[in-house]
Chains A and B, each alone.
Chain A
Amino acid sequence: MKAVLQAQALSLPPRLKNLSLRLRGNETIGLLGINGAGKSTALMALAGVLPDTQGELRVMGETLSNAPALRRHIAWLPQQPALHPDLSVAENLAFFAGLRLMRRPDSRQLAQTLERFDLGPLRKRLAHRLSGGERMRLALASVLLNEPRILLLDEPTAGLDPLQAERLRGLLQRESSERAVLIASHLLPDIEQLCERILLMHAGSVIADEPMHTAKPRVRVGLAHPPSDEALLALPGVARIVSANHGERILELAPGFPENLAEQVAARGWGLQRWEPGGSDLLARFRALSTGESG
């Protein structure tokens, strides 16, 4: 598939070094890195708001600096959405969306977008009175009203409570189906739940580029009568026991593990009390890669 966003050797030393990437059609990529790794700088460079960046940036096949109108295809959302605190939700949406549409959005469009991002009841509320999640949804609505082809998100769930974060991830999952998305985050659940591919960043450079399916999923299991480790490892699809604590085990699963694995465990009479899929070996791999690179 043709790349909608293509970066070639983007550099802004020391914050960004030689970043190259291709973002295709409906692809969602995660940009993973610790704080200060250069993720935000990378996103800003890709959004074209760091004019001192060297290298080439092409949007829909054209160089961005030669065709400023292409900016309407890029929706960039910084970590702290810079809304107008003294304007209402509807006013903020109308203004920022208008800038991307190059005209004032009509009321029908505004109403639909407010509903689409669950902001309808909040339309008259001033932006400074919104919660973090509401603010992020408003910012997202503002940049997505004109249906851009590319969405660049910087730590979208940072600072949100788990419920708000989960709600936003659901929203992003829905919106990412129609566009190419690049999510910069240091929060693994964001990456694991939303991304198909991950780029690991460290000290301004991309140190690894891997498809998400190579990450091994994990499941937390609570058992009233835990069997031996051998019995657990004998189950189809169980690759490794990551930890054991009384009746609780964290199992690392091999790619392609059976969908009815939980039913198989329950059928063994080990007193299955909990089955919580979540997490992967991403953190371990990230830690290893980062340490290796730095060390």
Chain B
Amino acid sequence: MIGHLVRHELRLRFLTPAWWLLASGIWLVCAWLLFAQLQVYQEIQPRLVASGANLGINELLVAPTLNVLAILLLVIAPLLGMASLAGERRSGRLALLLSTPLSLPQMLLGKWLGLLLPVSLIAAGILGMLSSLALGMQLDWARLATAMAGLILLSALASALSLACSAFTRQAAAAFAAALTVLIFLWLADGFVETGSPLHWFALSPHLGTFLQGTVTSDGLIYFTTLTLAALALAMVGLLRERESPPRRRLRELLAFLMLGILLAAAANLSQSQRHTLFRSAPLPEALLETLAAINGPITVTAWAPDYPILRARIEKLLRPLREIHPDFTLRWNDPQREPQLARETGITHDGELRIEAMGRAQRVPQPDHASLLRALRHLARRGEPWIVALQGNGEAPLGESQQGLGAWVRSLNSHGFRVVGVDAAGPIPDNAALLLAAAPAQDYAQDQVEKLKAFLRRGGRLLWLQEAGASSSLANLTGIGVLPGTLVTSAGSAGLSPLQLNVPIPVELDVPESGGAILDRAFALLPPEDGAWRIHARLQTGAHAWNETGPLQGELQRNPLQGERSGPHAVGLLIENGDNARIAVIGDSDLARNAQFGGAGNARLLLSVVNWLTDNRLDTRTAADDADIDWSPVVGISLALFHLLVGPALLGLAGMQIQRRRSRA
């Protein structure tokens, strides 16, 4: 029976020109917006890549179009649904419908589905338009899918609200105005209802926003389901007046309102207390998740940014995980150009600066990037920064700026949220040491120092050892990793490299986005531990042409097997882990971390990814968005623009008019 009513409603929509003309108009508006933005995007794309803004077409083209589509749906649903019941009542058909055996829930469901499908079809059409960008762009399909789910849920809610408003009046225009008012109130509630207030749960845009950004949360599903059911229940109350006798009607109305109140209160409470992420199109950094879990209470971020779309989109993207994960997150925008006095008082020095407040404290984030954000959040969570403790006192490489120093690497680690601290190896290991660094110790560590390091590893500690000529006994004692005598050389030198320099590919297990290798100079070959407790996670290997030269490193070098010189491939880096969750990375060279060579080839990437692996830090180290490029020919671009701006909308409009003409001739 519901199917019969739905078919009828669809026939009414699709056999009259209104839906076709509306769909045509929406297509045109969205296409115009999309291609206008595309033009701007093409102009600014090189600057975006250069600035490392990590924003691509999904952020700057697809997301704004989806936002506009969502706002249009808030108008379309009431427009198509305003006459659903009010018009039927006015024409006298409602009484005729009520004289049939059709039950009220059947009538309501039929009307609702008959409205939801055409509205959703418009949303699907626009998503289809966006999908056509895949001809030359890298679309985030998972995010498009969650956006579609969100837009269908929005359509369901808007359709139900339109029906509810239509159920209480004979005037279709009044129903339209009422439904639009309620929907706009829900949409804007995020802006004027205080975040902590229970009323804030009713705000539509944060719930829809998570779907549009590629995440499905239990909170969002509960929100849309509950409000849709509530709106349908309200519509039912409106219809009860038409069929039920007064005593029975009053009882049912009372029950309906009671259930409605309980449902809304329970849903608001449940969705806030039991918030789960059910699907996410892009994984979140583990380190951020852990830090956020340690922050109780509300997090308020004030972003000092002028109304520049790119800057704001960048900040939005940066803060998205916080919005998704933290149950009580608020983002406020302040324009330093409009409020210069306040900006000066707050200590804001440049655009894009963030101020985060949580747990009664505040932190500044000078740059809107992951590392700075994470560092600030860790401070707020009182967990401190993850220290990298560089052992000193046994001839290790200095942390300074000399040619042999590690200064450049230390600065790079700082910018990624770490703090490198030099600590005397004879002293205690700090509690917040995330990683111990033994950077080319010249002498073996004393036995008690080795025992201290072993105890640290037994507690699941992490160690990065850069091996040079000395301290190989300590290394073997600690890790079971041996060092072959001699220096690694190769007969297959590549352009610009001497036989002493090895170009080593970065292992795929380290998940470094860019391909390429690191350059090791005078490296040592490593022998894997024989202790079965250690599992090799990844290894850096030389090519087959490398061997461990035991003779003097001058003149023409040749492998001499009689001297124990073995042919490659040799391991120059070993990443091992054991059942205690301890992790050790040993690299048979320290030059790649020293100022003289740190910036060369993929050295920085290799070291950062090794540190990330050792510290479980999965921060995104990419500097450009994957989806930044547009790869289509001018013909494809022009054809798409013509189709979406002209042919498609025109075809839809003509189809509507043709239907009208054919039917009126019958």
Contact = CB atoms under 8 A, between A and B. Distances in A.
A126 B101 contact: no
Contacts of A48: 99
Interface in B85-117: 91-93, 95-103
Interface stretch (B134-142, B243-251, B291-299): B243-251
Interface string B34-51: 000000000000000000
A69 B101 CA distance: 5
B562 interface: no
B554 to A, nearest CB: 95
Contacts of A71: 99-101
A99 B11 contact: no
A82 B96 CA distance: 8
Contacts of B344: none
A101 to B, nearest CB: 9
A129 B666 CA distance: 10
B245 A126 contact: no
Nearest to A123: B666
A80 interface: yes
Contact of A104 (B4, B91, B100): B4
Given A51-B242, A124-B666, A126-B663, A102 B101 contact: yes
B16 interface: yes
A96 interface: yes
B664 interface: yes
Contact of B15 (A47, A87, A124): A87
B459 interface: no
Interface residues of B, number: 32
B100 A86 contact: no
A247 interface: no
Contacts of B101: 68-72, 99-100, 102
Contacts of A126: 663-664, 666
Given A51-B241, A65-B245, A124-B666, A86 B99 contact: no
A280 interface: no
B278 interface: no
Given A88-B663, A98-B4, A49 B102 contact: no
A88 B666 contact: yes
Contact of B249 (A51, A86, A96): A51
A99 B666 contact: no
Nearest to B92: A82
Contact of B91 (A65, A82, A87): A82
A82 B93 contact: yes
A220 interface: no
Contact of A99 (B4, B91, B248): B4
A84 interface: yes
B258 interface: no
B99 A47 contact: yes
Interface of A: 44, 47-49, 51-53, 65, 68-72, 74, 76, 78, 80, 82, 84, 86-88, 91, 95-96, 98-100, 102-104, 124-126, 129
Interface of B: 1, 4-5, 7-8, 11-12, 15-16, 91-93, 95-103, 241-246, 248-249, 663-664, 666
Q: Which 7 A-B pairs have the closest CB atoms?
A: A82-B92, A124-B666, A82-B93, A99-B100, A71-B101, A49-B95, A98-B4
